[in-house]
Structure 1
């Protein structure tokens, strides 16, 4: 069988943080570089403590672990399509169908947007961040347009 190439794409909006992701990559690289340097220099001075090769490797691995933790900040993503909204934050991923989405809000002073769901609950959307300015505004507008397109037809 051949696939129909005129199908609606599964995700019509995909947004990721921009500024914080760039900062996270830079900080992670810096952490790894600093720990690598410390690991190399660990045995050069006479401190009265005898450091072994395993200590040097351990310092470097600690830097890699810290860098990997910081890189979690590059993970957030939101995908929006006809079936619903897929929100991935630092460690969790949640799919929300359109009938549960009340709105997308960006409360004053908030760092990122959130999806309002029933019972006064919400899901943070770390992919749409205030520090991305115009990009965040465009993503929120596109989200709301898709919400009008898909959310209202399900709610009726």
Structure 2
């Protein structure tokens, strides 16, 4: 008999899933890039005021891109799930989510939806913290399954 896969303990809602380590790295690198690029622009004496401003603007732009990359999250609440990706935000009812997938090699979780589409949920991604992402995917899957049982 194969060993039983332990069902994750359902957390109290609301719960937010996000790649915290990846987010910390992105924000730290973003602040460091902004500081270094801005400092270089201010230290170089041969630059005109416009060129100095362009260095600061470039640092701010790099920080903004990394801030955008750190945005993804999945928020599970009593009323449904909100998926925040890089530039989009989508609110789903529990009944709309049929399946939560995180297959080997996937960069993030995919949600199979009742309309026949699949929605990437970048808030759960195995990049730096693979075990954490697997645990989060299992927890979200258990929440979806529990909500499906309650709606029947």
Same fold, judged at TM 0.5 (above): yes
2:13 is paired with a residue whose SS is coil
Task: Give 1:98-113 correspondences, 5 Å limit.
Answer: 98-113=94-109
Mapped contact 1:39–1:56 kept (Cα < 8 A): yes
**What secondary structure is seen at the aligned counterpart in 2 of 1:87?**
strand
**1:44-123 equivalences in 2 (<5 Å):** 44=46, 51-123=47-119
Q: State the alpha-carbon separation in 1 of the partners of residues 49 and 44 from structure 2.
A: 9
Structure 2: give runs of 5+ residues left out of the alignment.
1-11
Cα offset, 1:108, TM superposition:
2.2
Structure showing greater radius of gyration is 1
- Report how many aligned residue pairs link the two structures: 141
Q: Could you tell me how far 1:39 is from its partner in structure 2?
A: 0.6
* Counterpart in the other structure of 2:122: 126
Cα contact 2:108–2:121 (8 A) shared by 1: yes
Distance 1:41 1:15 in 2: 41
Query: For 2:76 and 2:115, how far apart are their aligned partners in 1?
Result: 22
TM-score, normalising length: structure 1? 0.80
Q: CA RMSD in A?
A: 2.1
Does 1:145 pair with 2:125? no
Conserved in 2, the CA contact under 8 Å of 1:130 and 1:136? Answer: yes
* Alpha-carbon distance in 2 for matches of 1:124, 1:35: 34
Task: Report the 3-state secondary structure (helix = DSSP H, G, I; strand = E; otherwise coil) of the residue aligned with 2:123.
Answer: strand
Q: Is the 8 A contact 2:102 2:134 kept in 1?
A: no
Q: Secondary structure at the match of 2:50?
A: helix
Moved >4 Å (runs of 4+): none
Taking the aligned partners of 2:13 and 2:49, their CA distance within structure 1 comes to 49
The gaps in structure 1 that reach 5 residues or longer are 1-9, 45-50
Partner of 2:23: 21
**Could you tell me how far apart the structure 1 residues matched to 2:32 and 2:42 are?**
15
Residue 94 (structure 1) shift: 0.4
